[in-house]
């Protein structure tokens, strides 16, 4: 079964890099341009994992994590934070909100693919 990924990032370049890398890795990839867009797409996509940026307009990554964790259907779904931020307090806040992991941009294709495979059960 193909692993479905919902990647949420306000950067078109990052969205396309993720789409390309993850499609090449054998994943089914859906993208959203910010947290609101991502939360609107979540029920239709029903992903196996969400990748979210932190700094986005309308709804940031912390809002995304909190909103996903509040949905019973998706409460246990893995969430990876992919961001340029590396501050320990932000990592802790994300972990406390329910993020599964934290990856700093620019990402290594192989490590990202490996991480997704490790945290998903598809």
Parallel/antiparallel/unpaired status of strands 79-83 and 28-32: unpaired
Residue from 102, 122, 121 nearest 112 by CA? 102
How far apart, in whole angstroms, are the C-alpha atoms of residue 43 and residue 103? 25
How far apart, in whole angstroms, are the C-alpha atoms of residue 93 and residue 102? 11
Q: Quick one: pLDDT at residue 86? A: 83
CATH topology (fold) of 4-119: Rossmann fold (3.40.50)
* Torsional sign, CA 23, 29, 33, 35: negative
Q: Quick one: pLDDT at residue 121? A: 66
Do residues 29 and 19 touch, judged by C-beta distance below 8 A? yes
Q: Which two tokens stand for residue 92?
A: 């802790």
Domain ranges for the chain: 4-119
pLDDT tens string for the chain (122 positions)?
A: 799 999 999 999 999 999 999 999 999 999 999 999 999 999 999 999 999 999 999 999 999 999 999 999 998 999 999 988 888 999 999 999 999 999 989 899 999 999 999 998 64
């Amino acid at each position: 079964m193909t692993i479905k990924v919902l990647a949420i990032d306000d950067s078109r370049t990052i969205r396309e890099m993720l789409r390309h890398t993850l499609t090449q890795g054998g994943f089914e990839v859906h993208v959203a341009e910010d947290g609101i867009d991502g939360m609107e797409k979540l029920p239709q996509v029903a992903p196996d994992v969400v990748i979210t940026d932190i700094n986005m307009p309308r709804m940031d990554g912390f809002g995304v994590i909190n909103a996903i964790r509040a949905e019973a259907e998706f409460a246990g779904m893995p969430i990876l934070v992919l961001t340029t931020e590396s501050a320990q307090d932000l990592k802790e806040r994300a972990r406390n909100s329910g993020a599964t992991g934290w990856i700093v941009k620019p990402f290594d294709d192989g490590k990202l693919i490996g991480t997704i495979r490790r945290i998903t059960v598809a």
